[in-house]
Amino acid sequence: MAKEKSVTAIPQHVAIIMDGNGRWAKKHHLPRLSGHEAGRKSVKRVVQAAIDHGVRYLTLYAFSVENWQRPREEVQGLMGLLRGVIREELSEMSKEGIRLRTIGRRQDLPEAVREELESAIEKTKGHTKLDLILALSYGSRVEITEAMQGMAREVKAGKLDPDQIREETVAEHLYTHGIPDPDLLIRTSGEMRISNFMLWQISYAEIVVTPVLWPDFGEEDFAKALADYAARDRRFGGI
């Protein structure tokens, strides 16, 4: 299906696989959780940088469905951190015109975190400066599986004709319905893999992998990724 060529040098949607908190902690002889805490500061810097550059959607991969397999202590620490961030940053988000959203299996999250999130999502829903989308208990394969289940249910109920299923129909059943596909995907800490992130949505995203560990990632690194993006020739299969 023909995609419109990107007309501006600034990506409308940037998605980031925020990786390397553990390695950063190890390098500094600190517990892993200190790495995650340091990563929180990077989130603040990058959100501000995205606003300054005029990015409209920022998706941050914060916790994957696979991350539940980590030691209980780390998972609990991350959930506590997440809850604190939402609570402490709510007024700042409102001031900056940020709309908080999530993608992923919100039902998997501890109730206290879910409540904090839902309240912030509700309070910021009218904001239009930046959509900050947190991928939480997110997995691309489970997202696609759930979309298929949803479509199958509609077919069974006689509400959807299988012959009428288009790419748009599938997209509408994903967690990201209504959100444009990422133009730029950044992964920190040098790992050359996707780790079950937005498999459908990144079909034509430009990819930037930086060796910088997430807690060290700042405004300049973000600007550099945008400059890399601006220099790319997005052909979408054309010539």
Any idea which residues carry the catalytic annotation?
19, 67
**Partner whose footprint covers residue 63, from ligand IPE, Mg ion, none (CB < 5 to 8 Å by kind):** ligand IPE
Q: Which residue is nearest to ligand IPE (CB)?
A: 22
Q: How is the beta sheet containing 130-138 ordered, strand by strand?
A: 98-103, 130-138, 57-64, 13-17, 184-187, 206-209
Q: Does 226 bind ligand IPE (CB under 6 A)?
A: no
Q: What are phi and psi of 134, to 5 degrees?
A: -95, 125
Q: Residue 43 in contact with residue 88, Cβ under 8 Å?
A: no
154 is in an annotated binding site: no
- Contacting residue, 6, 59, 64, 210, with ligand IPE by CB under 6 A: 64
Q: Does 89 bind Mg ion (CB under 5 A)?
A: no
The CA distance from 223 to 174, in Å, is 30
Q: Does 23 bind ligand IPE (CB under 6 A)?
A: yes
By CB under 5 A, how many residues form the interface with Mg ion?
1
The CA distance from 224 to 210, in Å, is 10
19 is in an annotated binding site: yes
The CA distance from 185 to 164, in Å, is 31
- Contacting residue, 12, 34, 48, 67, with ligand IPE by CB under 6 A: 67
Question: What tokens does 3 get?
Answer: 């995609």
**Partner whose footprint covers residue 64, from Mg ion, ligand IPE, none (CB < 5 to 8 Å by kind):** ligand IPE
Question: Cβ–Cβ contacts within 10 Å for residue 204, how many?
Answer: 14
Judged by the rule CB under 6 A, the positions of this chain that interact with ligand IPE are 17-23, 61-64, 67, 78, 189, 191, 193, 195
